Amino acid sequence: MLVLEYKAKGNKAQYQAIEEAIKTTQFVRNKCLRYWMNSPKEDNINNAAISRYSTVLRADFPFVAALNSMAVQAAAERAWLAISRFYDNCKKNKPGKKGYPRFQRLGRSVEYKTSGWSLHPTKRRITFSDKKWIGTLKLMGKWDIHTYPIKSIKRVRIVRRADGFYVQFCVDVECKEDVPSTGQEIGLDFGLEHFYTDSNGHHEPNPRLLRKAEKQVKHAQRRIYKKQKGKNGRKKARNRYARKHLKISRQRTEHAKLKARHVMRSNDLCVYENLQVKNMVRNHHLAKSINDAGWRQFRSYLEYFAQKYGKVALAVEPHYTSQQCPDCGTIVKKSLSTRTHTCKCGCVLQRDYAAAINILRKGKEKIATSGQGGSKTSKQKSRNARGVETSIQLGAILVEQVSTLILESHGFS
């Protein structure tokens, strides 16, 4: 799946119509959720029941009927996605909160499937033809959606952001590129000091620029509260804050993408730790650095590019990777503040460098023990680890994961 994104250009009335469609989407989602909550348990409300209910809504509310029928279906699917995720968490007995579905107050997108819209045959324009009267929007962006067969466009979303509306096309293509094998392998250790340290001893610095930008965001945030509530000045300040925020998140994404792309281009195998970022963020001291570095995002880009280039990206459990001696295998206990690995065998290495070597070795062991041609199976695995799961979700709905999948929209391919 590939997501192409354009900025949408229209007039005021059209933007209002988009808002109207977004509101309807949210209405349908929330109504479906309410229906599920209010139904007795023995009714066993499932996806099909919710879908049927959405057609009832169409009959009851003219403004729902005005939205394209498949878009209404997509909105109902959003409710079901939230419900099924909750069920899944309960079934797996996930520790902590189970994520009981909540009502949405600030919906920011409307999603069409394969009907209700058409593309201009030559110009970059899209026309929405349902009774929300969005009409024809200009698509600003260098992508050429026309190069893809219409049939491969599975979803079209309109998303509201701080700086305007965007149209996203979800295209079903196998985006693959032949990148020559380099025979190189690499292990990565994610640290606080550096963005990552690799098994060749290279330290990739943290993107400090982001830290600076973050200060500006904080400043913009404070300015909101200085303005009087309900006044125009406050609204403006809030928008300024949202724009700054958007800019940072884009920069962070660019950084993660750039680095991941480079790593997967120059290596055939990349091994990294299976970090549970979620658990680590609980520690408030670490929180800032961890969020900042955006490892999770970096990791999903590694996996994406591995798939794209036909390389192998592999996660291993991080146990002992920072304690073991890469030369002789002895466990050398050290606290987080000890930055150098010093072993009786004479091996002296920077701590993260030693860890990265261990991580690479662990990955190679994993491949060797997984049998049948090793790397092929792990390639398969890494594909499953990301590709399949994501695309199934994409098939169901675009909402959550699109942020990580907008890989092609800002200039790398």
Minimum CB separation of residue 327 from Zn ion in Å reads 4
- Judged by CB under 5 A, the stretch of 112-120, 133-141, 344-352, 391-399 that binds Zn ion is 344-352
Tally of CB atoms within 10 A around 286? 13
> Could you give phi then psi for residue 209, rounded to 5 degrees?
-50, -40
User: Which of 327, 334, 374, 381 forms a contact with Zn ion (CB under 5 A)?
Assistant: 327
User: Which of 173, 209, 328, 336 forms a contact with Zn ion (CB under 5 A)?
Assistant: 328
Minimum CB separation of residue 323 from Zn ion in Å reads 11
Provide the mask over 63-102, with x wherever binding to Zn ion is found by CB under 5 A and - wherever it is not. Answer: ----------------------------------------
In the bound state with Zn ion, the residue whose beta carbon lies nearer, of 271 and 354, is 354
In the bound state with Zn ion, the residue whose beta carbon lies nearer, of 220 and 325, is 325
Question: Which residue intervals of 163-231 are DSSP H helices?
Answer: 208-226
Q: CB-based burial of residue 192 (10 Å sphere; 0-12 exposed, 13-18 middle, 19+ buried)?
A: middle
Q: How far apart are CA 290 and CA 271, in angstroms?
A: 19
DSSP label of 143: -
Minimum CB separation of residue 331 from Zn ion in Å reads 10
In the bound state with Zn ion, the residue whose beta carbon lies nearer, of 175 and 328, is 328
126 forms beta bridges with 119, 137
User: Which of 74, 110, 269, 343 forms a contact with Zn ion (CB under 5 A)?
Assistant: 343
Minimum CB separation of residue 329 from Zn ion in Å reads 7
For residues 45 and 205, is the Cβ–Cβ distance under 8 A? no
- Judged by CB under 5 A, the stretch of 32-40, 273-281, 300-308, 318-326 that binds Zn ion is 318-326
C-alpha angle with apex 303: 298 to 304, nearest 5 degrees? 95
Return all residues near 60 (Cβ < 8 A) that are at least 6 apart: none
Interface with Zn ion, residue 8, by CB under 5 A = no
In the bound state with Zn ion, the residue whose beta carbon lies nearer, of 189 and 204, is 189
Question: Which residue intervals of 4-142 are DSSP H helices?
Answer: 12-38, 47-60, 62-65, 69-91
User: Which of 50, 72, 312, 325 forms a contact with Zn ion (CB under 5 A)?
Assistant: 325
For residues 263 and 270, is the Cβ–Cβ distance under 8 A? yes
Interface with Zn ion, residue 348, by CB under 5 A = no
- For Zn ion, the binding residues (CB under 5 A) are 325, 327-328, 330, 343, 345, 347
